[in-house]
Amino acid sequence: MIAAGGVPGEAAGARTFDLRPLFAPRSIAIVGASPRSALARTARDNIPRVGSQTRCFFVNPRYDEVDGSPCFPDLAALPEVPDIVVVAVNPLRAPAIVREAAAAGVPAVVVPGGGVVEGGEPAARMQAEVAAIAIETGTAILGPNCMGLLDLTVPSATYIDDLPPLRRGGVAAIAQSGSVTDAFIHAGTRIGWSRIISCGSEVVLDLCDYLAACLDDPETHAVALFVEGFKRPERFLALADRALAKGVPILAVKGGASRQAQAAAIAHTGSRAGDARATDAALDAVGVIRCGDLDELIEATALVDRARRLGRRAGQGRTAVVTVSTGEGSLIADLAPRLGLELPPVPAATEARIATALPTLGLVANPLDPWGAGEGGPEYRACFEAFADAGEYDVVALVHDFPYRSQPGEVALATELATELVAATWDRREVLPVYVSLPSGDVTPEVEALLDDAGGVPVLRGTAQAFGAIPRLAGWERRHARRRVEGPRRPRWPSLGTGFPSYGFEPRRAAAGAARPIVLAERDALAALRALGIPVVASAPIERGNPAAILEAARRAAVDLGWPVAVKADAPGLAHKSDRGGVVLDVADDGALGRAIDQVLAAVPEARGVLVEPMAPAGVELIVGARRAPQFGPLVLVGLGGILAEALDDVAIRLAPVTPDEALAMLAELRGTAILDGPRGRPATNRQAVAELIVALGGAIVANPAWLEVDLNPVIAGPDAAVAVDALVVTERRAPDWDFEDPGGGDDRPD
């Protein structure tokens, strides 16, 4: 039983929905069946195709019989109360059918139909009515705008498109697009499916409800997702963390990175796609395996599924590749850095072993092409065994591209090489064998059957897709191992009631971005950050007043801080001082100081005074920032900064808070990370100091729920320290009672 919204016990008196009838119906009724209704006929015929014994009834008062099946006038006339009603009429008529189903005691309704969300006001009204009836009556609704679902473990089917032969297994698939659900289905027997679910527009039950049900299913060991938007991102993160802890990989393609895709997502599912980088950071934090497109998703899912069947791991992902073509090997080597694929060089002992087995082989390398030196199974087996015994490889991959319908001799050779791959790795349980077919051909049925009979040796297609799947699985295995040892590394919020981390995002603040933002004056921003232990530049605020008094106070500050200095306008609400002419740098004497004060006060007439700050020492300019993303809460970022920050667009992002190791990893991800190591004889940057600043800022954005955005740009990173010389803090409201000078005053700030 799941509470409305899918969180057990989320609120007292919340409407609960029982999803069990959706997955294991004893009988279904298809309302609107007619001789013209391909939907009704297909849904009925799919039931025996999956081996289900679910009883199916047609309902339509106009007919006594449709396509060989008796037809009943209404639900009340059925010989039993069905577990599911499938709506086979115009979806705009769904409210009346849902109401009738609820009155008859039917626990679940599937509402298919394309384009209902895009149907304007009538569709919106229909969805609102369906949702209201469901919440009132406790009727579980799949859809509208869905393709139905399959559960091959029961088995059962309420799917409205033709089904090919499928294989029962341990992978659940959930898609917010009906056609993408078909893409999962048409992978056929390559992947063993437990459940395949088409969410539709999710007017009642959503992605999180189905994901929770799949994680509770003992037969599901992996979940593949196609996501356009998250209606409850916080709940999704909690479930994904649960999956990571449990050892259930979640693989996902997330649409909505472009403006066009975001608009389509809103139109298609009613879900907001969210900021792509924020989504990447959030999914990475909970170990979701990200895939760039459906081809990558299918291959990565096939690898996860087959590796689980085989009972083997990808380990560190160190891969030995054996090909039938030097050119293909070169292509794989070229792709490896982009894919994150590790191809360790061949150890000397392994090289000698291969050279002994193939004395005419000119070059022993990884990837390895033995073709010519050995054109049969024994020579290839010697290579497989040498790599498997080296202790330097976790995966041994055979790359083969003989066409499906090639000559019998080539088919026999493909079968022989696959046989030797299996034999060479059969007793070497620490090595994962993988068979890769490149695009020039497909795997022969003989090879497919042989590898399947060998326990499910992974069979992958496509160069980038196949070899990109290996580091994805290896990376997930590392994340899972860390999660088991370290536990969740984000705070918990009791208000969630889930027992899982909330990742610094408080549900009651989900709409915080709608509040009118307030830009703190820089003196207040610096004081707040300083009180939280974040290294910021020393600053002397000078109040506006008598020009001579301002100049004298500024001169004293410059002497105390040390010439040269920077002079900045000090004004609340001023986000970008330099754009207004409110900053003068390298002020070296009294005369220049007076001119600088006059300039910035004239440029920013609303300024309440000026700030005098010492010029920062030489170093690398970085940007370190944080913001409260609407969907996923606090984030922290680091990148190459200064005035070129936006143009360079070289940043790494994580959910906040972060650990020191995560902060160091962020620096390593930057395209320009080598700049931090001191090119051309310059001193190297103190990465640890930068990491400490990132950690501190991540903690600050989590600890201060009123903060919407913090921008430290630039942060000057040198060999000894990292210090922010400019700070922008945007809050959702002013808090004049905050004591920025008291480090212990944080607990008294309004929440």
pLDDT per position as a tens digit, 255-304: 866 555 444 433 333 333 347 889 999 999 999 999 999 999 999 999 99
pLDDT band at 556 (very low <50, low <70, confident <90, very high): very high
Say yes or no to pLDDT of 156 above 90: yes
Asked if pLDDT for residue 311 goes beyond 70, the answer is yes
Predicted pLDDT at 513 = 41
Determine how many CB atoms are found less than 10 A away from the CB of residue 692: 18
pLDDT of 499 above 60: no
Q: What is the pLDDT of residue 369?
A: 94
Work out the widest C-alpha separation in the chain, in whole angstroms: 100
pLDDT of residue 619 exceeding 70, the answer is yes
Percent of the chain with pLDDT over 90: 76
Confidence of residue 58 (pLDDT cuts 50, 70, 90): very high
Q: With beta carbons less than 8 A apart as the criterion, state whether 471 and 339 touch.
A: yes
pLDDT digits over 199-256, tens only?
999 999 999 999 999 999 999 999 999 999 999 998 999 999 999 999 999 999 998 6
Lowest mean pLDDT among 380-394, 470-484, 515-529, 727-741: 727-741
Rg from Cα positions in the chain: 31
Residue 142 host element (H or E): strand 140-146
At 181, phi and psi to the nearest 5? -60, -40
Average pLDDT, the chain: 88
Position 61 pLDDT exceeds 80:
yes
pLDDT at 664: 98
Q: Which domains does the chain have, with CATH numbers?
A: 2-290 (3.40.50.261), 312-474 (3.40.50.261), 538-614 (3.30.1490.20), 620-748 (3.30.470.20)
- Report DSSP letters for 221-275, one per residue: -EEEEEES--SSHHHHHHHHHHHHHHT--EEEEE---SHHHHHHHHHHHS-----
pLDDT exceeds cutoff 60 at 509: no
Q: Of residues 404 and 276, which shows the higher confidence score?
A: 276
Q: Is the pLDDT of residue 741 over 50?
A: no
Instruction: Identify the pLDDT of residue 681.
Output: 79
- Answer yes or no: is pLDDT of 504 > 60: no
